[in-house]
Structure 1
Amino acid sequence: MEWTGARYADTPTVEVRAWVDAPPDRVWRIVSDVTLMPGMSEELQSVEWLDGAAGPAVGARFVGRSRHEDFGEWETTSHIIECEPPRVLAWAVADPSRPSAVWRFGLQPKDGGTELSEWMQMGPGRSGLSFAIDRMPEKEEKIVFVRMREFEANMTATLGHIRKLAEA
């Protein structure tokens, strides 16, 4: 994938895919349990449902706490914006009308298993990355490029963890 020249305002996206030797219902049980995600991510440290929610539904919210070597620690509230078991789960980070990011899992039956995708869009709302860009606007394209590569690597690792759990 190539992000050369992408600026934050371009709302760049990245997507990774993996085939999982398990039916979509089994994969969905893992993907839809966002409290499992910290065990699959170097950055995401914890997730808690808010407002009494116990699982995903459009409008449900959860708080995630993250840590990154260069950005420190932070907390975000995400809003479920799409939930179609066992096919789609998506959430907007921060303001759902102008999110700092949108994340989406897609599941499709394929070859007796599941084609699993994870997609994310950076922006258009401000995020922690916006502050780095504010400090070094001349390096915006490089900052965005490096962060998108980090997302791609982390998403690839996450799909590997989901595959391992689903196939166990």
Structure 2
Amino acid sequence: MEWTGARYADQPEVSADTWIAAPPERVWPLVAELERMPARSTELESLTWLGDGPGAGARFRGHNEHPSLGRWSVEGTVVECDAPSRFAWEMDGEDAPSARWSFDLVPDDGGTRLTQRARMGPGRSGLSRAIDAMPDKEQKIVFVRLREFEAAITRTLEAIRAEAESSDERA
């Protein structure tokens, strides 16, 4: 795991990857069907497509809960849907996307190298309000949130790997 940037305006990013003993074509539905994500998340409670999904341009609404940030709903848009290699979406912010999440699937040694990334900003989000209230603590606020993203990515990658490698998914 690594991240760069310490201030929200720097659009800091965190990423991680895992190797999966399954071809990208088997892993693809596990990343492109975002409605599967709440089962892998401690923050995302539910996700609803606002029309057809999951192609490029598809819109969805996610309902979230966080101990420090409370409950909120936010809409997002699939911005890349290149089966079976890249899937990305951006969450709506006040003036631009507040976050960008993506998966890259690369054939690797008979399986798939799956990388997930999360980038903050550039648009304002609920985190921006916390920073506005405590501007002297911005770097700490961003650091803590990136650590939460890191934990979420690790959990998601492990769940996807387990699902892709299970006998149920191979059938």
> Given the two structures, how large is their TM-score scaled by the length of structure 2?
0.93
Write the distance in 1 (CA, Å) between the matches of 2:40 and 2:22.
Answer: 18
Q: Does the CA-based 8 Å contact 1:5-1:141 persist in structure 2?
A: no
5+ residue gaps, structure 1, are none
Name 1:132's counterpart in structure 2: 130
Q: Secondary structure at the match of 2:149?
A: helix
State the superposition RMSD in angstroms. 1.6
Q: 4-13 vs 92-101, which deviates more?
A: 92-101
Asked if 1:84 corresponds to 2:82, the answer is yes
Write the distance in 2 (CA, Å) between the matches of 1:120 and 1:37.
Answer: 14
* Percentage of matched positions with identical amino acids: 54
Name 1:123's counterpart in structure 2: 121
* Correspondences of 1:1-168 after superposition (within 5 Å): 1=1, 6-50=6-50, 52-53=51-52, 55-94=53-92, 98-168=96-166
Cα shift at 1:79: 0.5
> Given the two structures, how large is their TM-score scaled by the length of structure 1?
0.94
Q: Does the CA-based 8 Å contact 1:59-1:79 persist in structure 2?
A: yes
5+ residue gaps, structure 2, are 167-171
Cα shift at 1:72: 0.3
Distance 1:127 1:97, change over 3 A: closer
Aligned length: 166
Cα shift at 1:85: 0.3
